[in-house]
Amino acid sequence: MTSVGADERLARAALTRVFEPGDERGGRWLRRFGAVALLELITSPGARRERLTGVTGERLGGYRIRAEAAVPERDLAAIAALGGRFVCPGDPEWPSQLDDLEAARPIGLWVRGRPDLRIWSLRSVAVVGARACTPYGAHMAATLGSGLAERGWVVTSGAAFGVDGAAHRGALSAGGATVAVLAGGADRAYPPGHAELIGRIAEQGLLVAELPPGGHPTRSRFVLRNRVIAALTRGTVVVEAEYRSGSLVTARCAQRLGRFTMGVPGPATSGLSAGVHELLRGEAVLVTDAAEVVELVGDIGELAPSRRGPVLARDLLDPASARVLEALPARGAAEGREVARSAGTTTDEALGRLYELHSLGFVERCGDGWQLTARPTPAGAVRRGGT
């Protein structure tokens, strides 16, 4: 598969140090000039820089100082040392749904974790909400997280205290897949109180950041991070949110992007449900459990199992995924651990691949285990012997 060139990747990595997440002016320049030329323009002196219009000299000076200070080789080495990578538009792992963000599309994403971000995101739902949630909110987030994981859906959230953390933990507790989109660098555990959880997500799921390693989360970065959560997923569920809270930003962004927006009701007397109720009085759909979420975000195949089936020819699977697929029994289900053993890999690796295979329609959850999808392989995906 094609991938972006080394120069382009290096320039984009540097630009993640120049522009704040979601800087639309930067996004438009990037589209107009390309990453390599844009970086050159920013650091070039005098007249050439004037092609970068619509911005004060002071601001342009700020961009220049940041660009000159950037050492993208070091950032790429840092993420690689953590077993991660810098995924750019044009890479096979780039989640193309982020293109819906247009000029606010991330320049690239710093990613940690084994699974493929693009494939996982195909079948993912965001579960977000208040940091200072009630025990009820934490319960609902955890129940949705585990329920979605049990149904083979990836749970995406922001790793914050409260609802976010409960949703991630719920997914992990069900042996499920979860993605944390961080407002700081992918090497930073923020909040520090969630260091262990974030570490587990790096092992079993995916950490995603717009900022390069070492980046600090700030108030505006938290808000802008939410657009990535909304754009990555098929829908956003809000579990407890006050009026004018960050979770509502995510939900409204999801709405603008044409994603499903859902809310979990709570007592009308609870200020922590007031924001959700406001959403539910608008376009958002009321949901009370994972089945209702999946009913909404699932494609026709989700409701009518007989129509489910691979969306990719089996031959096109990468070898590691193909090995995991081969490891599944022809009939009946197997647990992740058994599949890992047969495929000669770790349980975490096997689970990551199983979720990819689920997104692609090859396998499905069955209780605690996994099985091949019931439907006969479509014509375009006939097995041609071993892979």
Residues that bind its own copies (CB under 8 A): 136, 139-140, 264-269, 273-274, 277, 280-281, 285-289, 292
Which CB atom, from 147 or from 213, has the smaller least distance to its own copies? 147
Cβ at position 168, least distance to its own copies in Å:
20
Cβ at position 195, least distance to its own copies in Å:
31
53 CB burial (10 A radius; 0-12, 13-18, 19+): exposed
Structure tokens at 321: 């995924």
Which CB atom, from 149 or from 280, has the smaller least distance to its own copies? 280
Question: How far apart are alpha carbons 263 and 240 in whole angstroms?
Answer: 8
Instruction: Report in angstroms the alpha-carbon separations of 316 from 106, 310, 328, 362.
Output: 28, 11, 18, 12
Cβ at position 288, least distance to its own copies in Å:
4
Which CB atom, from 219 or from 281, has the smaller least distance to its own copies? 281
DSSP 34: -
User: Which amino acid belongs to residue 51?
Assistant: R
Which CB atom, from 246 or from 266, has the smaller least distance to its own copies? 266
User: Which amino acid belongs to residue 384?
Assistant: R
Check if the beta carbon of residue 124 is closer than 8 Å to that of residue 153: yes
Instruction: Supply φ then ψ for residue 127, to 5 degrees.
Output: -125, 110
Cβ at position 147, least distance to its own copies in Å:
12
DSSP 360: T
Which CB atom, from 191 or from 271, has the smaller least distance to its own copies? 271
Cβ at position 243, least distance to its own copies in Å:
12
> Whose structure tokens read 């077993």?
83
Cβ at position 287, least distance to its own copies in Å:
8
Q: Is the dihedral of CA 75, 80, 82, 85 positive or negative?
A: positive
Cβ at position 129, least distance to its own copies in Å:
13
Which CB atom, from 66 or from 139, has the smaller least distance to its own copies? 139
Quickly count: other Cβ atoms within 10 Å of residue 111's Cβ: 22
Which CB atom, from 137 or from 369, has the smaller least distance to its own copies? 137
